[in-house]
A and B are shown apart, each in its own frame.
Chain A
Amino acid sequence: QVQLKESGPGLVQPSQTLSLTCTVAGFSLTSYNVHWVRQPPGKGLEWMGVIWNTGGTRYNSALKSRLSISKDTSKSQVFLKMNSLQTEDTATYYCARGRYYSGYYFDYWGQGVMVTVSS
């Protein structure tokens, strides 16, 4: 069945780079796009960016200068890298599979990985 699972460090120091991996199963990255969404503790959801099945990317302009999304299709993995982390980047980071019907939506989500930015 369709599964996504995020992995990465739980703690990152300010000004450092965050690296997360989303490992998917049950579908191919050559057929579906994968999005990253984050949620600060007790707050709402923020769309970060997407990597298309073609390998192209699109980022939230609020994060664009710091964010990079890539993938290894053979390993069914999607990677997120974000530099210059600050305390406000503390959040749970989710990867989600994207679909389209009148607009893009997310039909399967990973369990999320909590990332704390602190020295």
Chain B
Amino acid sequence: DIQMTQSPASLSASLGETVTIQCQASEDIYSGLAWYQQKPGKSPQLLIYGASSLQDGVPSRFSGSGSGTQYSLKISSMQTEDEGVYFCQQGLKYPFTFGSGTKLEIK
């Protein structure tokens, strides 16, 4: 199985700060990567697919980049509503696998 390693496990950011979350795959996943945000008691919501494509309705302060085994999610200006847990997911090989999550809080 492809292992997805996310970092950091948690972080806190001030309003307006730029935040970057990293995701490393155990093998090349050829941009088959998605990012999700999950808030307490809610289901995950898609932010980014294909490593860098923004899902409809997602604010433009979210962006994704990367290739090969290294990917990142950037929030250009942290807002209070961005608090939550962020997961990466590879969709190239079965079984599809998720990172362990990054908990993002407001400082």
Q: Which of B5-30 contact A (CB under 8 A)?
A: 29-30
Asked whether A104 lies within 8 Å of B96 as measured between CB atoms, the reply is: yes
Query: What residues on B are CB-neighbors of A109 within 8 Å?
Result: 43-45
Task: Tell whether, in the assembled complex, residue B49 and residue A110 are in contact, meaning their CB atoms are under 8 Å apart.
Answer: no
Contacting residues, chain A, for B44 (C-beta < 8 A): 45, 94, 106, 109
> Is the Cβ of A105 less than 8 Å from the Cβ of B34?
yes
Q: How large is the interface on B (under 10, 10 to 19, 20 to 34, 35 or more residues)?
A: 20 to 34
Interface: B84 (CB within 8 A): no
Chain B nearest CB, measured from A4 CB (Å): 9
Q: Which of B42, B49, B97, B101 contacts A105 (CB 8 A)?
A: B49
Name the contact of A102 in the complex, choosing from B32, B36, B45, B97 (C-beta under 8 A): B32
* Chain A interface, number of residues (Cβ within 8 angstroms): 24
* Interface check B104, CB cutoff 8 A: no
Chain A residues positioned under 8 Å from B95 (CB to CB) = 47, 60-62
- Contact across chains for B30 and A44 when beta carbons are under 8 A apart: no
Assess whether A107 is interfacial by the CB under 8 Å rule. yes
Residues of B within 8 A of A112 (CB): 43
- B29, B32, B42, B91, most chain A CB atoms within 10 A: B91
Interface residues of B (CB under 8 A from A): 29-34, 36, 42-46, 49-51, 53, 55, 87, 89-92, 94-101
Q: Can you give 14 A-B contacts (C-beta < 8 A)? A: A44-B101, A45-B87, A47-B97, A94-B43, A101-B53, A102-B92, A103-B29, A103-B30, A104-B91, A106-B34, A106-B46, A107-B55, A111-B42, A111-B43
